Amino acid sequence: MRRRSIVAVISIFVHAVVVFAAMTAEFWRPITEWPTPRQAIAFFEDVPRPVHLEDIELPKPAKTQTTVSAPSSGAPATSTQPTELAPVQPPAGIPNETGREGTITSARLAEVERNGAGVAPIAPPVAPPPAPPQPPIRLHSGIRAPQRLVNVAPVYPAAARLARVEGMVIIEATIDERGNVARAQLLRSIPLLDDAALTAVRQWKFTPTLLNGVAVPIVMTVTVNFKLD
């Protein structure tokens, strides 16, 4: 075989290897460099999923533990167990929340049991102090003088009659809101005639004196004239 033929065969073989390598180059790359196939898009129906809620246990009220102390020698046994309070009755005649006497509402009783104390008696309402009496005012031009309704004539004392004593006794009289003579005192005195004059004036009766439409006590001066026949 000639040399040219050998070179041709080798050249053909080399070209064939190169072409084969070029065609199978994708298969010779590492697997990490292989192309990733496209992922198919999946369509799912939007179906609501049931949600399961866990039952939450409510906190339990704390239990009060009561302990019983062992009795010591020579001492009585004592217990710390709570004692039930008896309903407290308020004093008779005092209304409470229910409007009746001698009973307590359940809300008030529950409050008593929580506090562990008795209900203080409800104090009766205190009446306001009475208004101070109107001081008497003196009769003046702005007040109309009361009219005398009852006139009691004085009795002439026998001693004054025998002594031939005459004259005018002047008395300051305080007349209350009802027209009665509440007080009488002498302004001009005649010793034998004073008592008779005071006794007569204290029995007089007047019309009530009005000031702005309200009856008021007044102080006025009256005279009692004694004259022999």
Domain boundaries, the chain: 137-226
Nearest to 142 by CA among 220, 207, 215, 212: 212
3-state secondary structure of 67: coil
Lowest mean pLDDT among 112-121, 151-160, 205-214: 112-121
Please tell me what DSSP assigns to residue 212.
T
Query: What is the average pLDDT across 137-155?
Result: 87
Question: Which pLDDT does position 56 carry in this prediction?
Answer: 62
pLDDT averaged over the chain? 75
Q: pTM for the full model?
A: 0.44
Higher per-residue pLDDT: 54 or 211? 211
Q: Residue 77 above 70 pLDDT?
A: no
Number of Cβ atoms within 10 Å of the Cβ of 32: 5
Q: Residue 198 above 90 pLDDT?
A: yes
Cα separation, 187 vs 174, in Å, equals 13
3-state secondary structure of 221: strand
Q: Residue 60 above 60 pLDDT?
A: yes
Question: Which pLDDT does position 156 carry in this prediction?
Answer: 94
Query: What is the average pLDDT across 199-215?
Result: 92
As a whole-number percent, the residues of the chain with pLDDT over 90 amount to 33
Give the confidence band of 93 by pLDDT, cuts at 50, 70, 90. Answer: very low
Q: Residue 97 above 50 pLDDT?
A: no
Cα separation, 174 vs 179, in Å, equals 9
3-state secondary structure of 218: strand
Burial 57-70 (b: 16+ CB within 10 A, else e): eeeeeeeeeeeeee
At the top level of CATH, the class of 137-226 is alpha beta
Quick check: 6 and 14 in contact, CB under 8 A?
no
Question: Which pLDDT does position 190 carry in this prediction?
Answer: 94
Query: What is the average pLDDT across 98-117?
Result: 58
